[in-house]
Amino acid sequence: MDVINKFYSSAVQTVSQLSGVLPGNNVTREYEVLDQICTAGVGLMWKVYSGHKKSTKQEVSVFVFEKKVLERWSKDDRETMLETLRRGVQQLTKIRHPHVLTVQHPLEESRDSLAFATEPVFASLANVVGDSVRSEKKLYDVEIRHGLLQLFDGLQFLHNDAKIVHRNISAETIVINKNRSWKLFGFDFCIANQPASNGTPHWPCREYSTSLHVLAQPSLEYTAPELALNSVNTPDSDLFSLGVLIFTIHSGKPLKMFGSDYSSFRRYANELNQRKYPPMNTIPSELTESVKALLHPSANLRPKLHELKTITYFQDVGVKTLSYLDSLYQWDNLQKSKFYKGLPQIIPTLPHRVNLHSILPYLIKEFVNSPMIPFVLPNVLLIAEMSSQREYCEHILPHLKPIFKLTDPIQILLIFMQKMDLLLKLTPAEEVKQSVLPLLYRSLECDMPQIQELCLGVLPTFSTLIDYNAMKNSVIPRIKKLCLLSNNVSVKVNCLISIGKLLENLDKWLVLDEILPFLQQIQSREPAIIMAIIGIYKIAMTNTKLGITKDVMAHKCIPFLVPLSVENGLTIAQFNTIVGLIKEMLGRVEQEQREKLQQLATIQRDNKPKDAAEILANEMDNTTLSPAGSNGNKSDDDMFSGFSVGQPSHTATPKPAAPALAPVKTREQLKISHNTTSEAASKTDMFSLMQSNISSLSTVQSPPAAAANPAQLTMPYSASGGNSNNWHSANPLVMNHQLASPQASSNNNFSSLDDLDPFGSGGGGSQIAKPNNANSANMYTLQQPTVNYIYPTSYNSMNSMQPNLGLSKPMNLGTTGTTTSAPTLMPQMTQSADSKNLNTLSQQDILNFLN
C-alpha cells in the first residue's frame, strides 16, 4: 500500500508541477504532456516528459526547463544561463543528422519555463551509467560498442561537415532515444568555425571564468588540458572529452571530480602532461590503449575518429549488424535481401532488449517496401517468439495488422501460415477474430495448394476461438467448397482431416445435416480420400457428444460405406478398416433395435389384463411371503392341504398386528397338490365348511358397540355374528383368507368389493378408492381387475341357483384390535337352498376344475 501511495503522490506532484509550469507555454497547445521519464543537459536541468502530438498522436518527448531552478543564483548568472540554454536549443534545431537529437517543435518560452519537443527519448547517458542504475536500464556491452560508433559518426559530422566543436561532450549531453540510438545533445557551449584570413579553420577559445556559475560553463571533468595550459580549442579537444566519456561509461564516474575548482584542474592537466593516468581496470583490454591515446596531453597525437572505428573492440558481429541497420537506407533491395536472409542467425545471439528496441524498428520501416516484406517478416516473427505477450501487443502487433490484409506477394500468406501457432498464442482473442480469421479465409480461397494445406493444418488448433456462427457460416462452407472443387488429392485429404479435427467443436445436428451429407457428394474414390471419409464416420459414431443415431446409420451410412469397401486400389488393411466400421455400425443398429423391441414387449405385457389363474397365483404367493397372513394366523395359509381343511385351535390367544402385504408377483401359476392322507386326518368336512361359510354370509349382522376383543377371533371361518376380520365368499373355490376384506372404518373409503366377487353378483361400483387411514401402517391400496371365471359343467349347471350378494357397506381390512363392522348382506335365496345346491357339487368335479 505504501508503494501505491508513493506512486500516487509522485504522479500528483508531477501533474501539479506541470500545471504550474506549462500552462503558459505554447508547447502545450500542440502536444499532450504525460509522465517524466528522465533528465538531461548541463546539470541535468532539463526534465524530459513523454507525450504525443494532439492532432496526429505522434509520440514525442517534451524537454522542460523550470526557471525557478535559477532563483538561488544571481541575476547575471540567471540571465547568462538562460541565454546559454536558448542558444543550445537553437543550435540543436539547425543541425540535422541521424546521430544528433532531432527537434520536432522549436523552443517555446513562457514566464515560468522553456520547452521544446523532440523525437521519443529513453534516457540520457548519465541516467544509465553508474552503480545506482536499475538492472533493466543497465547497458549491454553490444549497446555500448554500437553507441560509441554512433558518437564517432556524429562527431565526424560536426567536425568535418558542420565545422563545429562541441566543447561539452559528457554523459549529461548524450541522449539515448527510444530505439536505443545514441544522440548528441547539449550544444550550449559549442563553437563554430571562424576561418582565418588565409582560410585555415579556427575555433576561438573561451577561457574558463571563476566569476561565472559552474553550470554556465563547460564541465571541467571533461575539458581537455590544452584549454588550461595553452588556451587552444580544436576538434581534438572533443576527442579528449570522448576518452573521459568512455572511462566514465565503464567505471561509473569521470577520471577526477573538480566541480568549480579551476586550480585543481590545472594541476591535473600538468599530471596528464607527464602521462600519469588513473587505473583503467574496468575498461576492456581491447579498448585500453585507445582510451589512453585519446587522453594524450598533445592534441595532435590523439587518434582520429575513423581510426578508432577499426580497432578490434568494434569488430563484433552484433555491432556490425547494428551498424549495417543504421546505413540500411543507402542500400538497394538486392543488398537488403541478402542481409535479411542472414539476420535470423544473428538475432538469437543478441540480448532481447537489443532485438526489440534496436533491430525491430528498422525492420518495421521496411514494411512500406512491399517486395522486401517476405524477407523482413520472418525476422519480425522471430523477435516475436522471444517477446512476452505485452511486448508483442505493444511493439509488434500494431505494425502487423496492415500486413495481415496483404495477399501480394503470396509468400506473405505462406509465412503467416507457418507461424500461425505463434500468432494465436500471442494475439488477444478479440484481435484474432478481427485480423487473423480473415487472413485464414483468404488463405483458403487462394490458388496455391501449399498455402491451402498449411491453413487447413493450423485451422483446428484455434477452433475454440471461433464462435459457432463463424464456424457454421464461414469456415465449414469454405472447407467444403475447397474439397469439392479442388483437383489436388492432397488438398482434398487435408480438407477431410481438418473437418475430422473440427468435429469435437461442432454440435450433433450440424454434423448430421451438413457434414455427413457432404461426404456422399465427394466423387473421388482414391484410397486416401476413402480412408479420410472413414475416419470422419468413425469419429462421429464414437464421440459421445455427436453419436450417429441408428436410423442414420441404417438408412444413410451403411448403404454408402458398403460400396466403398469394394473400391479398387484398397489395401488389405484399408479394407479391414472399412469392413470393421460397417460391422460396428451393424452391431450398434442390432443392439439398439433389440433393446427397443424388448422395451416395447415389456410395456405391452405389463398393460395386458391378468387371467384368473394368475390372480390366484399372485394372492397365493403373497400368503407364502407373509406367513402371518392377513389375520396373523398360520391356519389361514393352509386352507387346502390335500383337499382337507385343518381345524384351527380354539385357544383364545391374542394375535399380533398384521404386517404389510408383500408385492404381488405376476405370471406365476397356482399349483395345488392332492394329499389323500391329510384328507382322512382333517377334522372338518369340506362341505360342512362350505355350508358354514354360506350361513355366515346369509346372516344379517350389525356393528358391535365396542371394539372387538382379539381373544374372540380364534376361528377364521366362524359362522357366528361376532366381530370378525375375515370376509368369506360363497364360492368354495375362492380362498376366503386370500381375499382382503374391505375396510369398514370411517377412515377408509373403499367404494365396493364387487370386482372381487368371482360370480359377478355384486352391483356396486367397479372402482376401488384408496384408503385414507393414517393410523395403520399395514394398510395398502388393493386394486384387482374384474375377472370372469370358467367353471366345470357340473358346477355351471348349479350356478343359476347361486345367490347374488350385494354389499351395502364397505368393510375394514384392519389389523388386530381395530374396530370392524360386518357388512350387511342382501341374500337372494335362503340358506337351505344354498346348502342343498352346493352339496350336489361332487368332490371329483372340484378336483377336475382345479387340475
The answer to whether position 56 is within a domain reads yes
CA distance 456 to 441: 10
CATH code for position 576: 1.25.10.10
- Nearest Cα to Cα of residue 668 among 619, 604, 631, 614: 614
Burial of 312 (0-12, 13-18, 19+ CB in 10 A): exposed
- Nearest Cα to Cα of residue 430 among 399, 397, 381: 397
Read off the DSSP letter of residue 644.
B
Q: State the cell numbers at 582.
A: 460397417
| pLDDT for the residue 464 | 78
The answer to whether position 662 is within a domain reads no
CA distance 773 to 776: 6
Q: Enumerate the H helices of 366-474 as residue ranges.
A: 373-385, 389-391, 397-404, 411-418, 420-426, 429-431, 437-445, 449-458, 468-470
Question: Would you say 185 and 223 are in contact if contact means Cβ atoms under 8 Å apart?
Answer: no
The one-letter amino acid code at 31 reads: Y
The one-letter amino acid code at 788 reads: N
Helix (H) or strand (E) holding 29: helix 27-30
Read off the DSSP letter of residue 807.
B
Domain end residue (candidates: 126, 152, 170): 126
Question: Would you say 250 and 283 are in contact if contact means Cβ atoms under 8 Å apart?
Answer: yes
CA distance 732 to 724: 19
CA distance 596 to 59: 74
- Strands of 551-678, DSSP E: none
Residue listed under C-alpha cell 501457432: 421
Q: Which DSSP string corresponds to 260-303?
A: T-HHHHHHHHHHHHTT-----TTS-HHHHHHHHHHT-SSGGGSP
- In which residue ranges of the chain is pLDDT below 50? 1-17, 19, 627-840
Number of domains in the chain: 2
Question: Would you say 655 and 620 are in contact if contact means Cβ atoms under 8 Å apart?
Answer: no
The answer to whether position 730 is within a domain reads no
- Nearest Cα to Cα of residue 118 among 20, 27, 24, 22: 27
Kindly list the strands in the beta sheet with 31-40, ordered across the sheet, starting from the edge strand earlier in the chain.
31-40, 46-53, 59-66, 113-118, 103-109
The answer to whether position 764 is within a domain reads no
- Nearest Cα to Cα of residue 808 among 757, 762, 845: 762
- Nearest Cα to Cα of residue 415 among 461, 368, 372, 374: 374
The one-letter amino acid code at 470 reads: A
CA distance 42 to 84: 10
- Nearest Cα to Cα of residue 316 among 291, 351, 292, 341: 351
| pLDDT for the residue 505 | 82
Question: Would you say 692 and 726 are in contact if contact means Cβ atoms under 8 Å apart?
Answer: no
- Nearest Cα to Cα of residue 769 among 742, 729, 809, 738: 742
What does the chain come to in residues? 851
CA distance 741 to 636: 14
CATH code for position 80: 3.30.200.20
Q: Which residues pair with 727 in a beta bridge?
A: none
Expressed as residue numbers, the domain containing 41 is 2-126
Domain end residue (candidates: 593, 610, 635): 593
- Each residue of 188-212: pLDDT tens digit? 999 998 887 777 888 888 888 888 8
CA distance 312 to 408: 44
The one-letter amino acid code at 186 reads: G
Q: State the cell numbers at 731.
A: 364360492
The b/e string for 73-88 (b: 16+ C-beta within 10 A; e otherwise) is: eeeebbebbbebbeeb
Read off the DSSP letter of residue 405.
T
The answer to whether position 278 is within a domain reads no
Angle at 313 between CA 311 and CA 314, to 5 degrees: 80
Angle, to 10 degrees, between the axis of helix 333-346 and the axis of helix 317-326?
150
CA distance 682 to 647: 7
The answer to whether position 9 is within a domain reads yes
Q: State the cell numbers at 850.
A: 382345479
Dihedral sign, Cα of residue 807, residue 808, residue 814, residue 820: negative
Residue listed under C-alpha cell 493444418: 457
CA atoms within 13 A on the CB side of 623: 24
| pLDDT for the residue 841 | 52
Question: Would you say 193 and 212 are in contact if contact means Cβ atoms under 8 Å apart?
Answer: no
The answer to whether position 688 is within a domain reads no
C-alpha R_g of the chain: 55
CA distance 520 to 561: 10
- Each residue of 239-270: pLDDT tens digit? 999 999 999 999 888 888 888 888 888 888 88
Helix (H) or strand (E) holding 483: helix 476-485
| pLDDT for the residue 709 | 40
Domain end residue (candidates: 593, 612, 647): 593
The answer to whether position 724 is within a domain reads no
Q: State the cell numbers at 758.
A: 368371482
